[in-house]
Amino acid sequence: MKFDTARLIWIIGYLVLAPFIGGLLEGFDRKISARMQRRVGPPILQPFYDVQKLFNKQTIAVRKTQFSFLIAYMVLMIFTGAMFFGGVDLLMCFFVLSTAATFLIFAASVTNSPYSAIGAQREMIQMMTYEPAVLMTAVGFYLIRGTFDVDRIARAGSSAIVVLPGFFFAFVFILTIKMRKSPFDEAGSHHPHQELVKGITTEMGAKNLAVYTITEWYENVFLLGVVGLFIVNRNPLSYIGAIVVILLVYFLEILIDNASARVRWQTMLKMTWGVTLLTAGVNLMMLMLIYR
Amino acid sequence: MGKVKRSPWLLHYDGSSCNGCDIEVLATLTPVYDAERLGVENTGDPMQADILLITGGINEQNAPVVKQLYDQMPRPKVVVAVGICACTGGIFKDCYNIRGGVDTTIPVDIYVPGCAARPQSIIDGIIKARDLFQKRSDEHDEYEKTHHGGAGEEKING
Ligand code: SF4
């Protein structure tokens, strides 16, 4: 497909703004979490301070290749987001997303640290858990719009969520896994609980951890973009609606994160597949009956 | 150069303490004292830590562990001894297996006295530690600037 200037602006906007938006969202996340726990909490800009500090520290790496893997993870993740905001094939975005996640697993497993290895294994289980819902999302959009092109999906006459409520629910459900929130933060433990040390990030220090963190910000913005895709349509006002829904979803994730303890991976797998089947699956069947 | 002191991440190690000080360290992270407002994160990972916070004295068994944790932390780093046990060996000083305070094994920068050390003084210790952390980081940058050649990572001491 050919690029128009509007799409180019979207791509550049994503490349430049995503780290800031992602970092700010994380800052609000930590502040809101703190308030939910009746604490004062760190400043909103704390995630940026953290990353700045990480770049100022000495890098100790057990394996030098870890950095290359992390860079590959970052580049592919940025590529995923750029493709999405550039309006190309949604299915392709999801494939590149999975490839990026694979490089993260490589980065974690090159070090031979047992904690890192457990984190990497759990990351693979997580991928297996959320992948059906992610693919279903792409299928849902295709069924109602007859295309995988994000550009054309976004320019439809009505919001996709009207006919895809089940898919939307399934996608928001797996967002908890993708954003590494409780109860599904299997691969990397949040700071208060440490039986995994830091799981997948155990062996990442200084600039390696900084690269990882920035990549997570890019990823979160992309994922929230997919949430927004359920809302946007031809009407420019729908973009405001999309932002409102994105913020609500993000707040919901923070609430779930603070209100739940981590579950075992078996429970995560059963719950997620069950929910995917019940919501997206039933929604899919209904669509197939209607759009026949 | 960079303002690193806004983000001091702690690694808390419990030596041969009576657990009194450990409870106070955890109390500094609870809603009442909330050390996270200073950017403190209680990390369990030495590779990501900036401040090593040790409670309790050093005995023959945990000495190598403490040494290893210290070595695994990337520079610049700061060590804080919390509680009188960690400062001098305290009440356990004369036990047959106790070496004494943390400074018998690794260099200690900040001593937080008390039995148990109160959360207020622990927070005070953390604030002193993060200022020192900033100072060391500045020295680190200065060193990088004056010593060209890129191999700075291996050469820097302290
Ligand atoms: S200083 Fe006191 S409270 Fe702290 S570990 Fe020693 S004996 Fe326990």
What are the boundaries of each domain within chain A?
A: 5-291
Confidence of residue A276 (pLDDT cuts 50, 70, 90): very high
The domains of chain B, with CATH numbers, are 9-157 (3.40.50.12280)
Between these two residues, A182 and B2, which has the higher pLDDT value?
A182
User: Chain A residue closest to B31 (CA)?
Assistant: A39
Q: Is the pLDDT of residue A128 over 50?
A: yes
Q: A209 to chain B: which residues are within 8 Å by CB?
A: 48
What's residue A251's pLDDT? 94
Q: Residue A153 CA to chain centroid, in angstroms?
A: 20
Least confident range from A2-11, A143-152, A222-231: namely A2-11
Give the pLDDT confidence of A13-41 residue by residue, as tens digits: 999 999 999 999 999 999 999 999 888 88
Distances (CA, A) of A260 to A6, A110, A140, A254, B45: 42, 32, 30, 10, 23
pLDDT in tens, A67-112: 999 999 999 999 999 999 988 889 999 999 999 999 999 988 888 8
Q: Which residue, A230, A206, A101, is CA-closest to A156?
A: A230
* Choice between A192 and A272, residue whose per-residue pLDDT is larger: A272
Residue with token string 């369990």: B44
Lowest mean pLDDT among A183-192, A282-291, B17-26, B95-104: A183-192
pLDDT at A292: 64
The pair of three-digit structure tokens given for residue A72, joined into one six-digit string: 């590959």
CA–CA separation, B148 and A132 (whole Å)? 52
* d(C-alpha B119, C-alpha B27), whole Å: 7
**Band of residue A248 on the pLDDT scale cut at 50, 70, 90:** very high
Q: Nearest residue of A to residue B153 by CA position?
A: A58
User: Which residues in chain B have Cβ-Cβ distances shorter than 8 Å to A204?
Assistant: 47-48
Dist CA A184 CA A74 (whole Å): 23
To which residue do tokens 């039995």 refer?
Answer: B115
Q: At what angle do helices A5-36 and A46-55 cross, to 10 degrees?
A: 100
Please tell me the predicted confidence (pLDDT) of residue B157.
Answer: 43
Q: Nearest by CB to B3, which of A52, A194, A206?
A: A52
pTM for the model: 0.89
List residues of B whose CB lies inside 8 A of any A CB: 1-4, 6-7, 9, 31, 34, 36-39, 41-45, 47-48, 50, 72, 74-76, 137, 140-141, 153, 156
Q: Which of A154-163, A189-198, B101-110, B124-133 has the lowest mean pLDDT?
A: A189-198
Question: Does the model's ipTM exceed the 0.90 cut?
Answer: no
The percent of residues above 90 in pLDDT, for chain A, comes to 48
Find how far residue A223's CA is from the centre of its chain.
4
Tell me the mean pLDDT in the region A274-284. Answer: 92
> What pLDDT score does B2 carry?
66
Question: Which parts of chain B register pLDDT below 50?
Answer: 150-158
